[in-house]
Chain A
């Protein structure tokens, strides 16, 4: 008892009582604190553990390398190129971003626009986020940059990946291109990769239609981040799965050859293996530079592509529809023979026109061809002969055979944007226009005009079918990754060999008999001869007055009013292997450039023996690693 005196004793008694009360209060407060800790750490501990993990863990997607696209003999048509870039991390610069940019400008070109963009990014983004200063630097610039790094604090040289199309516009329609993801892509595709900044997806061609296979699957890098989002370390990594390499049936050389010859024209050329349906060349000119889409096309350049009369963005081989003109006559011949409507020796005397329902239907040759049998009619492309046949045959049978040979429906080639074309019929006309079919329309159809519309690839398919007698369909994808996509044996077309032989002999006469419409541009190398059929698609109406005064020559008309020049062919005549269809828009000239091209293409295909040379896949696939792909280019 430490009390001092009597008065203090009473004071002490009160004090100790109340000190006890205060202690009790303190104990109660500690109890509350402990209880709160129990609630937070024991009762709700798991909840907060999850939230702490959510705070610190960030899953970052790893973009897979895109699969390459390779031609039939192993030439890489689309690959990933190293993209040498210069990045800038604002917080690591000395003296600010602007000063560092000034120093950088002495080494690499930085435009005022770029400069403005970089400064804006630097102001808006967190200071540790790298900003792209320049992309696609040359090796020289990149080396100099790397040398000067010591004096450029905050600048980071970086190597990314960019899609590379070594053959540029010549494969632009087959391959398509890759470009940035747009809102529509995001809606239709839930792959989180699309959300990656700078991620590019296929927009046309093979790049688009096989996007899923070529893209690969995202990897994930699980990283720990701090409160500012800065990556502290990687916790786990699940590497991405590279996209599949795609092998095409295309032959790079043949494609380039065709493009080279057509480069000043608005034209299309398709070449097929008549036995397998392998598309060996699919050229549509003009093209565009797919590499330009990588770095972002300016709106001026884009508009120029859109407004060009030569429609460089259109893949004319599958998306361009044309009147087949006289190239439809072999189809007419097959229909007429196979239905027994006529025999090969059925003859018609052409006077230059026939009259139906008070209307004159003219032959292209003023004054007529005289008497012709089927082979002669094909050789000279006599319209009156096929008018006569058409009247006997009727539109229904024409429609049936046109479709059977591959017109009026999608060929099913692995390319986006294919058009089915149109084979008209009374039912179609009734449904579309609400009017009955006129017999005159049957005549127009017979010579490939009227409402008949075909794509160059369909024409090529028709040619391949009549040349082989098989129901071949064109395809362009040979293999995806490790699995072969082509190689199925086509069934028979179901048309007798006699019928086909009769038509083929007519087509042989076109090129190989004097007087044939394509005789001047025949293949003269023995064993490589081709058979074919010319066609001219009229894009304007010829008035009565003009016809009376003589049809104007194509060359005298404005380009847009000139006739399209068409040609279908196959070779060799002895044992057909290659089919070819060429359309040159407004190119029906006396020199028949479309026939010349088909001749050159078919000759080259045969001389290089494309169909019989061993393919890159699967035989040589094992040796085609990404390292040596550069050598094969």
Chain B
């Protein structure tokens, strides 16, 4: 372990930084992505086209982004936290307005060949902004009503905008992630416990006494948009059949009948985990979960090793985000929760999610590389 301490504004060399990157973590991420390549290769019937090859290219690009982001000083990231948050908010408003003025319910902005999803961007920028805000608060300051209100504002505004898209999955992901960060920042139990009790009481009360049947139906449809579409139940059934029929050791690579014969819906994206479960069984599924758990372990450890509060909050924010992806996607394909469009990170086919996740890991790695950097509470004129 490098015990040198870095103080003040001094930046160390790129070479030092590259040496500081946790390459074990890089290997771990590559392993998970490779599982994804293999499963995509199988899902395409034993071909690199049309998914595995694209995914590999994206991952390599993502890897460079990760390294680049990791080498940038966390103080720089702190400095751009608010501006980037503002930009992301503006973009969210922009897609909202664009949707309103008749371009249809778009969630993304076309930037030449790239399709930028502001809500994806917001997953990172909200964590950055919250980390910066919480970094500036002293111990227990978060529990003061005004500070808490501001902190909540950082969360509520983007959540509301994303909810209006409408994108319930990402909105809840953002909300849960933000609230977790407030909790980690030391929010008093005196706030937490009554809030939890209030929610626990409010939901059934509202449901039972205040909502009309048609409103309930609307809420139900909103919570589970797929419920009124023919075949949503069929999708989940086929996913469970795929997983279950994998048994303990699976049917073998390229031998998944559910996937090969197209019984699995969206097998290359949201339901990719079932392809793995079918071909590699309980053991294979557990192995992937174990790799994911190791990533989370790294994330928490990096957070705990950071000298700056900004770094800690940022690292946990990224980690929790990653965890929420896994939890929601996993629970969905296993039939524990209704179908929501959340992919399995690093494994599901998809460019935006891959880049977002790798960018996040870049920030995580930046926290790791710059773990000894001291960041002043009030970082005005830092750079």
Please report A residues at the B interface, Cβ cutoff 8 Å: 2-4, 7-8, 10-12, 14-16, 18-19, 22-23, 26-27, 29-30, 32-34, 36-38, 40-42, 44-49, 51-53, 55-56, 224-228, 232
Q: Measured between alpha carbons, how far is A30 from B296 in the docked complex, in Å?
A: 11
B183→A30 contact, CB < 8 A: no
- Contacts A2-B306, A29-B327 hold; do A41 and B277 have CB atoms under 8 A apart? yes
Of residues A33, A38, A44, A46, which shows the largest number of chain B Cβ atoms within 10 Å of its Cβ?
Answer: A33
Quick one: which of B138, B289, B293, B303 contacts A7, CB cutoff 8 A? B138
Quick one: which of B184, B240, B306, B309 contacts A40, CB cutoff 8 A? B240
Chain A residues near B281: list those with CB within 8 A. 41
A227→B304 contact, CB < 8 A: no
The 9 residue pairs across chains A and B that have the minimum distance between CB atoms: A48-B244, A52-B245, A226-B261, A45-B247, A14-B186, A41-B282, A2-B307, A10-B139, A48-B245
**Interface locus among B57-65, B110-118, B330-338:** B330-338
Chain A residues near B263: list those with CB within 8 A. 52, 55-56, 226-227
Of residues B139, B316, B371, which shows the largest number of chain A Cβ atoms within 10 Å of its Cβ?
Answer: B139
B139→A55 contact, CB < 8 A: no
B247→A49 contact, CB < 8 A: yes
CB B45 to nearest CB in A, in angstroms, measures: 10
Chain B residues near A55: list those with CB within 8 A. 238, 241, 257-258, 261, 263
Chain B residues near A51: list those with CB within 8 A. 241, 244-245
Chain B residues near A30: list those with CB within 8 A. 289, 292-293
Query: Can you list 24 A-B pairs with a CB-CB distance of less than 8 A?
Result: A2-B307, A2-B371, A11-B186, A15-B185, A15-B304, A22-B184, A22-B316, A29-B327, A33-B334, A34-B286, A36-B331, A37-B334, A41-B281, A41-B285, A45-B244, A45-B246, A49-B245, A51-B245, A52-B241, A53-B257, A55-B238, A55-B261, A226-B263, A232-B261
Quick one: which of A14, A26, A44 contacts B244, CB cutoff 8 A? A44
**B372 proximal to A (CB < 8 A):** yes
**B91 proximal to A (CB < 8 A):** no
Report B252-279 residues with CB < 8 Å from chain A CB. Answer: 257-258, 261-263, 277-278
Q: Measured between alpha carbons, how far is A2 from B305 in the docked complex, in Å?
A: 6
Q: Measured between alpha carbons, how far is A23 from B320 in the docked complex, in Å?
A: 9
Q: Measured between alpha carbons, how far is A34 from B286 in the docked complex, in Å?
A: 7
Please report B residues at the A interface, Cβ cutoff 8 Å: 138-139, 180, 183-186, 238, 240-248, 257-258, 261-263, 277-278, 281-282, 285-286, 289, 292-293, 296-297, 300, 303-309, 312, 316, 320, 323, 327, 330-331, 334, 336, 371-372, 374
Q: Measured between alpha carbons, how far is A2 from B5 in the docked complex, in Å?
A: 10
Nearest-neighbor residue (CB-CB) of B330 within chain A: A33
A37→B374 contact, CB < 8 A: no
Chain A residues near B184: list those with CB within 8 A. 15, 18-19, 22
A48→B138 contact, CB < 8 A: no
Nearest-neighbor residue (CB-CB) of B264 within chain A: A227
Chain B residues near A10: list those with CB within 8 A. 139
A4→B277 contact, CB < 8 A: no
Chain A residues near B304: list those with CB within 8 A. 2, 15-16, 19
- Contacts A41-B285, A52-B257 hold; do A14 and B139 have CB atoms under 8 A apart? yes
Q: Measured between alpha carbons, how far is A595 from B316 in the docked complex, in Å?
A: 112
B183→A18 contact, CB < 8 A: yes
Q: Measured between alpha carbons, how far is A225 from B258 in the docked complex, in Å?
A: 11
A11→B307 contact, CB < 8 A: no
Q: Is the interface of B mostly helix, strand, loop or mixed?
A: helix
A228→B300 contact, CB < 8 A: no
Nearest-neighbor residue (CB-CB) of A3 within chain B: B307
Of residues B238, B263, B297, which shows the largest number of chain A Cβ atoms within 10 Å of its Cβ?
Answer: B263
Q: Is the interface of A mostly helix, strand, loop or mixed?
A: helix
Chain B residues near A27: list those with CB within 8 A. 293
Q: A51-B244, A232-B261 are in contact. List 5 more A-B contacts (CB 8 A).
A: A7-B139, A22-B184, A22-B300, A26-B296, A227-B262
A15→B309 contact, CB < 8 A: yes
- Contacts A40-B240, A55-B263 hold; do A19 and B186 have CB atoms under 8 A apart? no
Quick one: which of B247, B336, B371 contacts A41, CB cutoff 8 A? B247
Q: Measured between alpha carbons, how far is A42 from B372 in the docked complex, in Å?
A: 47
Q: Measured between alpha carbons, how far is A37 from B240 in the docked complex, in Å?
A: 10
Q: Measured between alpha carbons, how far is A274 from B109 in the docked complex, in Å?
A: 98
Of residues B261, B300, B320, B331, which shows the largest number of chain A Cβ atoms within 10 Å of its Cβ?
Answer: B261
Q: Measured between alpha carbons, how far is A48 from B335 in the docked complex, in Å?
A: 14
Of residues A18, A37, A225, which shows the largest number of chain B Cβ atoms within 10 Å of its Cβ?
Answer: A37
B336→A36 contact, CB < 8 A: yes
- Contacts A18-B186, A37-B286, A40-B243 hold; do A56 and B261 have CB atoms under 8 A apart? yes
Nearest-neighbor residue (CB-CB) of B244 within chain A: A48
CB B312 to nearest CB in A, in angstroms, measures: 6
CB A3 to nearest CB in B, in angstroms, measures: 7
Quick one: which of B240, B289, B372 contacts A48, CB cutoff 8 A? B240
B309→A2 contact, CB < 8 A: no
Chain B residues near A40: list those with CB within 8 A. 240, 243-244, 277, 334
Chain A residues near B371: list those with CB within 8 A. 2
Q: Measured between alpha carbons, how far is A14 from B309 in the docked complex, in Å?
A: 11
Chain B residues near A32: list those with CB within 8 A. 331, 336
Quick one: which of B312, B320, B327 contacts A33, CB cutoff 8 A? B327
Nearest-neighbor residue (CB-CB) of A29 within chain B: B327
- Contacts A30-B289, A33-B330, A37-B334 hold; do A19 and B316 have CB atoms under 8 A apart? yes
Chain A residues near B246: list those with CB within 8 A. 41, 45
Q: Measured between alpha carbons, how far is A11 from B323 in the docked complex, in Å?
A: 24
Chain A residues near B305: list those with CB within 8 A. 2
Chain A residues near B316: list those with CB within 8 A. 19, 22
Q: Measured between alpha carbons, how far is A4 from B307 in the docked complex, in Å?
A: 6
Q: Measured between alpha carbons, how far is A32 from B337 in the docked complex, in Å?
A: 13
